[in-house]
Structure formats: C-alpha cells, structure tokens
Amino acid sequence: MQKRVFLSSILSVMVLVTSSCSSTHSAVSDTHDQADTFETYNRAMFKFNYQVDKYVLKPLAEGYRAITNQYARDRISSVIANLKEPLYATNNLLQGEFTDSGMSLARFAVNSTLGLAGMYDVAEGWGWPRKKAGFDSTLAKWCIKDGPYIILPILGPSTPRAAVSLALDSAFNPLYWATYNDANVKDKVMYSYAAVSGIVTRESVMDIWDDLERNSVDFYAAMRSAYLQNRGQSGCYNDENAQGTAAYDFDFGIEDEDMTYQDMENN
C-alpha cells in the first residue's frame, strides 16, 4: 500500500507541479480575477512540495537523463503521448468536436500499430495533427468555474476543477482498461506507468524549471503565475468573448518532440 501511494505521489507532483512551468496561453483565466485566497497555506505547502521535488523527483529525472539519449527519450515520450489519444477522443466528443474526436481515435489506431505502440507519430506525417482535450477543458466548456488557486499536498498547484479533471483523465488510460480484469497485473502496470510518466515529465521541464527558479525573485509567485497563465480562459459555451481553455497539459514538453513517419524512415 505504501508503495502504491509513493508511486502515485511521484506521478502527481511531477505532472501537476511541472505543468505550472508552461506558459502556452496568453489569455487570463477566471482564476486570475481572484485573490490568492489561501496564500498563507499555499506558501507553506509549496515549500513542502519543493523539498519533495529537490530530494526525490529531480534526482530521479536527472538520473533518467543521464542514462538515456535524446532519441530514446523521444520514443518513450511519444508512447506516453499516444496513450492519451482515447482521452482526447472522449473529450472532443463531449465538447461537440466530432471531427476532432474521430481524428483522435484514428491517430490512436494508426500510431499504436504502424507507429510501433506509439513510438512514432505516423499519423502526424499523414497530416493528422493531435487534437488535445481533457476533462478540464470539457468542464470549462460546460461553464464550470475553475475555483480558487490552491496548492495540494504532494499534488502541487491546482484548482478544484483541475483536481476533479485530473481524476477523470486518469480513468481513460488504455492500460487501465486493458488490465482491468486482473487486479495484480493492473496495479503493476499502472504504477509502473505512473513512475515512468512522472519521471519523463519532470525531465522534460527540468531546464525551464531551473531557469524560472533562477530568475525569480519570488519563486512561489512565479510558479503560480505560470500555472494560471497556462490554464487560459474558461471557454464557456455561454461566453462569446472566451478564447478557449488550454488543455490541461499533463505532458508538457513531450508531444512537440514526437517523431513523424518521415523521421522514422530516415533512422
């Protein structure tokens, strides 16, 4: 049980905390309009999570980088990215993006077979781009408010909507359903996936993380700002001025490295 909690914690803090380093959307979230209501608590929890990263997560990511080359890391990252296609298909469907939903399913089928279990993004080479969509963007489309910014123990930067979305997203991993009937196998597969995915994610943002920390007067404030900017506006169907919500990017820094079919042929 302790092993399961530990591995889950590794994935969660890597995914949530490191995603805050990204600033891929210039729009302002509805959360930006709210004060940091729980700032005293948030800063204390941020310090705790920082120590977890310093002594556990970052060393694991550094070790991963040391024993692999860029090509190997790209292949592993591509496999992880491919496993998210069913999630994208589901949420594009829930958002009424039927073409994008179908494309996500097609991408998963093609890359899982011709792309050798997702190691290569064959579909991208065919002109089928990834259409990212998670439950966070779906709930935003359904006009569910983000809620206040809060630092969760181990899990890191979040909002109520983001926390719920993360739990929903995790249920759409194909590995979970492929091993569902055998609890022992399922546990081994899912926690192994959690550990690998977490380490890969942390390694992918290592340089950006270090640069942000090095150039920040207040690292907590810088991380909060980056996290909220990455979330974008609500994208509510009833908001004509909304510019859309950036998909909650669990694989920040991963998908841009996916290799196309042409790249595969050249290797």
pLDDT tens digits, one per residue of 59-88: 999 999 999 999 999 999 999 999 999 999
Instruction: Report pLDDT for 71.
Output: 98
Better-scored residue on pLDDT, 193 or 235? 193
Average pLDDT of the chain is: 81
pLDDT band at 123 (very low <50, low <70, confident <90, very high): very high
Mean pLDDT for 90-97 is 98
* Band (113; pLDDT cuts 50, 70, 90): very high
For position 234, what pLDDT does the model report? 57
Amino acid at 42: N
The boundaries of the domain holding residue 185 are 2-265
Q: Which residue has the tokens 């091993």?
A: 179
Band (pLDDT 50/70/90 cuts) for residue 155 is confident
Sequence-distant contacts of 212-221: CB under 8 A, at least 24 apart? 212/21, 219/50, 220/42, 220/43, 220/46
Task: Please check the confidence at residue 250 and state whether its pLDDT lies above 50.
Answer: no
Q: Is 232 helix (H, G, I), strand (E, B) or coil?
A: strand
Digit-coded pLDDT (tens) for 3-49: 443 444 444 444 444 444 333 333 334 444 456 999 999 999 999 99
Name the H helices within the chain: 2-19, 39-52, 58-67, 70-82, 85-94, 98-113, 122-125, 135-141, 160-170, 174-178, 183-204, 206-214, 219-231, 261-265
DSSP collapsed to 3 states, 135-201: HHHHHHHCCCCCCCCEEECCCEEECHHHHHHHHHHHCCCHHHHHCCCCHHHHHHHHHHHHHHHHHHH
Residue with token string 């719920």: 164
* More confident call, 177 vs 77: 77
pLDDT higher than threshold 90 for residue 254: no
d(CA 104, CA 128): 9
- pTM for this predicted structure: 0.77
Paired strand residues for 55: none
The residue with greater pLDDT, 24 or 90, is: 90
Mean pLDDT of 176-189: 90
pLDDT of residue 239: 58
The total domain count for the chain is 1
The larger pLDDT score, comparing residue 178 to residue 25, is at 178
Q: Who wins on pLDDT, 209 or 252?
A: 209
Find the distance separating the first CA and the last CA of the chain, reported in whole Å: 43
Residue type, 127: G
Q: Which two tokens stand for residue 170?
A: 């995790």
What b-and-e string marks burial along 70-100, b requiring 16 or more CB atoms within 10 Å of the CB?
eeebbbbbbbbbbbbbbbbbbbbbbbebeeb
